Structure 1
Amino acid sequence: MKRLTDHLIVISFDCLSSKDMPTLQQLPNFRRLLDGAAICNNVTPIYPSVTYPCHTSIITGNYPSRHRIVRNTLIQPGKQSPDWYWQRKYIQGTTLYDEAKKQKMNTGALLWPVTAKAKIDYHIPEVFANRSWHSQVAVSLLNGSFFYTIDMNRRFGKLRKGIKQPWLDDFVTAATVHTIKSKRPDLLLVHLVDIDYQRHEHGFLGDESFAALQRQDERLGKIMRAMDESGIMNDSTIIALGDHSALDVTHVIKMNAFLLESGLIHTDIQGKVKGWKAFCKSNDGSAYLYVKDQKDKPTMDRLGALLHSLMQNPNNGLERVYTGTEAAELGADGEAAFMIEAREGFYFTEEVAGEPIVEITQSEIVSGKHCKAVHGYSPSKPDYSTVFIAKGNGIIPGQVIESMNLVDEGPTFARLLGLDLGETDGRVLEEIIND
């Protein structure tokens, strides 16, 4: 297959929404990128629309039911902070960077989710210290490119404050600029999280979210200037994209508290889960309900009856209940007994203690216990799409894509690099390809 670009730079702006496009059109560096670019302002995310499944769909071209990154975190009932799907080993099937390495391309990835211990040349994965005896630098070193990570932290480590934003994105941007100038990678995947962080903390709109968009514009400008200064711009394709949108919330649904009341979860005297027949795994705006043994018909019946009862009252916050089979048809996890969707204004947590439905207080938002805006909802929610902007070699200038799916991005990236992801759920966006 013909290769259409020497360098593919993909920048994911986490939580960049279609509703942000009017703002992007006023920001100088996004305006420069948008001028002559192929654009879609109606990209349908996957279900559940959370970061790790989304980013895996982007680089595989498949829905979560196929690549198996079906949630952000593992099922670990009772664990205060569940481990995430950090490592490449969890992905079923091939990825864009795997296929690039097979063709001996130089690859880079900075904080791209689900890449820990992947075969990537210049690599700092998104992984954080989740044990009291771990340090952030150590887990990065063990899961990424050892000497590259040391070099980036030596050069730019002063910019970061652990994994806090906006400092982490400043570090990632500096590392991206250096990597473009010194390594000139064939494929570079960059994940910037500032917008998502601010919206969780402060809500979808407001000064903090706008300030984050402005900072991302400045970071985009630094990356494009690095491409100019390194002399690769005319031989490159640059992609800016979002993975999902977000919605403001006012109430929390603690499904595990309902399961505790129903006798499907058991806790010890400290309130820690010590046994369960059914358990809720939150995707914020949606959730999976898992049954330890789906052949346990009494548990399945009791869980089904509970959900039916909760659906009768809109104040419980449930909008839709799917069976596991229906979830799989939507591209989600068919191994769940049920998948549930929250009404707008509600989201799910995995808390077991307390009242099952609670109104979020400002003090809980400030303390980080609860969020002010979340994602994870069904793509069918109104005004919930994201964006795709492509410019450079292999791209027809000025093309407008009326609508597309997140899974279309991976096959399109593969086409630009002359690679093949095999049979995928997504399609190549042939309408923007200039070969």
Structure 2
Amino acid sequence: MVANETDSILTAPGHTRYQSIGPSEPEEETVKGKHKIAVAILITLASLLFGGVLVHGLTSGNEQAPIYNNGTHSFAPTVIFISLDGVVSHDLDLHFTPVLSEIAEQGVKADYMTPSFPPITFPSHWSLVTGLYPEAHGIVGNYFYDKNLNDSFYYKSPDQSWDSKWWGGEPIWITAVRQKKKSGVIMWPGCSTEFSGLRPTYSVAFNDHIKFDDKVDQVFDWIDLPLEDRPQFVGVYVQQVDQAGHAYGPYGNETFKQLHLADKSIGRLLDGLKERNLTDIVNVMVVSDHGMSETDKSRLIYYDDVLTEKELSLIWSIEASPTLGIRIHPSENEEEAVEILYEAFRRLHNSLDTPHFEVYKREDFPSRFQFRDNIRIPPLMVLPDAGWNFVTHKEFDPNLGGEYEPRGVHGYDNMSPESRAIFVAQGPDFPKKKTIVPFWNIELYSVMSRILHLKPSNNNNTLNGLLEVE
């Protein structure tokens, strides 16, 4: 199914011609039920009066938007979209998140949300807000090389990485501004980039020292603005759980502490909305970009045990960790060098009783990943099993003792249970006490567009803004 019910062809940086299609779902993600609910068409034609809030109209992009009132002020449809970086879907079952668990029980939840591949911070976050696979929007990693531009993207270099030449697609906050609606974004990857002269109405650039509670205060400041100045889309990025997960592992005490603190901050946000009589007016959606796997020195693959010095010398750079996304030295014939290295990794594969990895040329990367049709994707991809990592003896000497670091890693197969992301939501455009059939993260751009009465830009969604209830 093509986004916006058209047969559009998407073009993105390094992405020459891409037919918008849906993901090839494994059997466990096949549609389970026949009762589809449009999450943004839950308000009936009849006016509904509850708690002093008057709601009217259908929340459809082709209909007049509803107007809400909290007793003192009018509100247009509003979404607060929060990403907790690195939270695994099963984390919500570990009793560290009473607030998120309450949202899941009283509102909607998905058993999990499938991140796009690779399940890495920048690609996944850009897919969440554009509805595009990374091969289509062009942010194929946290760092990557573009042969056509002869330039490299590096996520920790904002002066360079915020250049719009890197960022394909249209994020929801620009869709809103383009259609004369306000948006506010806090630290979301890409929020400092300008698109054809447009930026979010309000934005806060990334600052690692700002706490989640400070971000909540900023959300309140925006929500308390007059109607004509108030953003209808608010995006909030939270990095602390992911940082702790890398340093201490996904099951480390510090990681769970950061998860609990994030949960408390969300509770504070919900309390503030309740005080303003906005619980049934403002939609709150909480997701993660991906999960995380625990690492261990017993799960290391030493590829220099088999590859020769001559073969290793063909490698110019490696991207997409923990995958070995291999680029060939510019002085070499790429096609020949890729073939040599492909055979070398096949030799490594065959030398191991249990290889714990697969090697693919870019054009042969399995179609279910939606990740091969972009010049920015390395020509050779060596994908390890979840929790396994490639190293050389120079990078980690097992004879020296010590633990392998980082203690937590993500970026594996996006359909691995450890890679799965969370999704919970509540508000007037979501049903109560329902479970959503698992879906891909590229669906949420159209869901939010429908709630906010926006005409979405071309994207890869397959559900047309509808999420299915189990």
Describe the SS at the equivalent of 1:209.
helix
Which residue of the partner structure matches residue 114 of structure 1?
190
Distance of aligned partners of 1:259 and 1:83 in 2 relative to their CA distance in 1, 3 Å threshold: farther
2:104 is matched with which residue?
Answer: 34
Structure 2 counterpart of 1:420 = 455
Q: 1 CA distance for matches of 2:232 and 2:247?
A: 36
Selected match of 1:312 from 347, 350, 354: 350
Shift of 1:56: 0.6
Residue of structure 2 in register with 1:124 after alignment: 204
Q: Distance in 2 between matches of 1:92 and 1:394?
A: 29
Structure 2: distance between partners of 1:55 and 1:62: 10
Q: CA deviation at 1:328?
A: 7.5
Equivalent in the alignment of 1:291: 328
**What do the CA deviations read for 1:28-79 (whole angstroms, capped 9, x no partner)?**
4224422431210221111110010000110111110101110011339999
Corresponding residue number in structure 1 for 2:387:
345
Deviation at 1:231, TM superposition (A): 4.5
Map 1:30-429 to 2 at 5 A: 30-75=100-145, 83=157, 85-118=161-194, 119-126=199-206, 163=208, 168-182=211-225, 184-251=230-297, 261-262=309-310, 265=313, 278-284=316-322, 286-292=323-329, 296-314=334-352, 318-327=356-365, 329=367, 330-334=369-373, 335=375, 336-348=378-390, 354-355=393-394, 358-359=397-398, 370-426=405-461, 427-429=463-465
Task: Tell me the CA shift for residue 374 of structure 1.
Answer: 0.7
Amino acid across the alignment from 2:394: E
1:125-184 deviation per Cα after TM superposition (whole angstroms, max 9, x unaligned): 33xxxxxxxxxxxxxxxxxxxxxxxxxxxxxxxxxxx625xx643443333343333464
Segment drifting more, 174-183 vs 206-215: 174-183
Do 2:122 and 2:189's aligned partners in 1 also have CA atoms closer than 8 Å?
yes
**90, 94, 99: which one pairs with 1:23?**
94
1:279-310 CA-to-partner distances (Å, cap 9, x unmatched) read: 211332x2311235685333122212221122
Note the alpha carbon deviations across 1:386-425, whole angstroms, 9 max, x for none. 2211211222222211211111111111111112324422
Could you tell me whether the CA contact under 8 Å between 1:395 and 1:432 is conserved in 2? no
2:6 aligns with: none
Q: For residue 112 of structure 2, give the secondary structure of its aligned residue in structure 1.
A: strand
Q: Which amino acid in 1 is paired with 2:464?
A: V
Name the SS of the counterpart of 2:423 in structure 1: strand
Q: Which residue of structure 1 aligns with residue 466 of structure 2?
A: 430
Q: Secondary structure at the match of 2:106?
A: coil
Whether contact under 8 Å (2:184, 2:235) holds in the other structure is: yes
Kept in 2, the 8 Å contact 1:282–1:348? The answer is: no
In 2 relative to 1, CA 382–432 (structure 1 residues): closer, same or farther, beyond 3 Å?
Answer: closer
Counterpart of 2:174, as a letter, is: D
Answer whether contact 1:61 1:408 (CA < 8 A) is retained.
yes
Matched to 2:208, the amino acid is I
C-alpha separation between the residues in 2 aligned to 1:328 and 1:60?
Answer: 23
Pick the structure with greater CA Rg. 2
- Match of residue 10 from structure 1: 81
How far did 1:193 drift?
1.3
Flag the 1:362–1:68 CA change in 2: closer, same or farther, 3 A.
Answer: farther
Aligned counterpart, 2:9: none
Structure 1 partner of 2:12: none
Alpha-carbon distance in 2 for matches of 1:417, 1:432: 19
Superposition CA RMSD, Å: 3.4
Q: Is the 8 A contact 1:254 1:356 kept in 2?
A: no
Higher normalized helix content (fraction of residues): 1
Question: Normalized against structure 1, the TM-score is what?
Answer: 0.76
- CA distance in 1: counterparts of 2:154 and 2:139, whole angstroms: 21
The separation in 1 between residues aligned to 2:436 and 2:115, in whole angstroms, is 15
Give ranges in structure 1 of 5+ residues lacking alignment. 127-161, 266-275
Structure 2: which 5+ runs fail to align?
1-60, 67-75
Change (3 A) 1:120 1:279: same
Provide the residue aligned with 1:152 in structure 2.
none
Aligned amino acid, residue 255 of structure 2: S
User: Residues of 1 paired with 2:220 and 2:339: CA distance?
Assistant: 56
> Residues 226 and 333 of structure 1: is their aligned pair in 2 closer, same or farther, counting only changes over 3 Å?
farther
Distance 1:421 1:247, change over 3 A: same
State the alpha-carbon separation in 1 of the partners of residues 83 and 452 from structure 2.
Answer: 18
Structure 2 distance, partners of 1:100, 1:89, is 21
| Residue of structure 2 in register with 1:150 after alignment | none
Q: Distance in 2 between matches of 1:315 and 1:289?
A: 24
**1:245, 1:384 within 8 Å by CA — same for their partners in 2?**
yes
Q: Which residue of 1 aligns with 2:8?
A: none
In structure 2, what is the Cα distance between the partners aligned to 1:11 and 1:396? Answer: 19
Distance change (3 Å), C-alpha of 1:193 and 1:322 = same
- 1:230: Cα distance to partner? 4.1
Query: In structure 2, what is the Cα distance between the partners aligned to 1:22 and 1:260?
Result: 46
Identity %: 19
CA distance in 2, matches of 1:360, 1:239: 47
Residues 342 and 360 in structure 2, CA contact (< 8 A), matched pair in contact too? no
Contact 1:75 1:82 in 2 (8 A): no
Match of 2:13 in 1: none
Residues in 2 aligned to 1:415 and 1:360: alpha-carbon distance in whole angstroms: 57
- Indicate the SS of the match to 2:86: coil
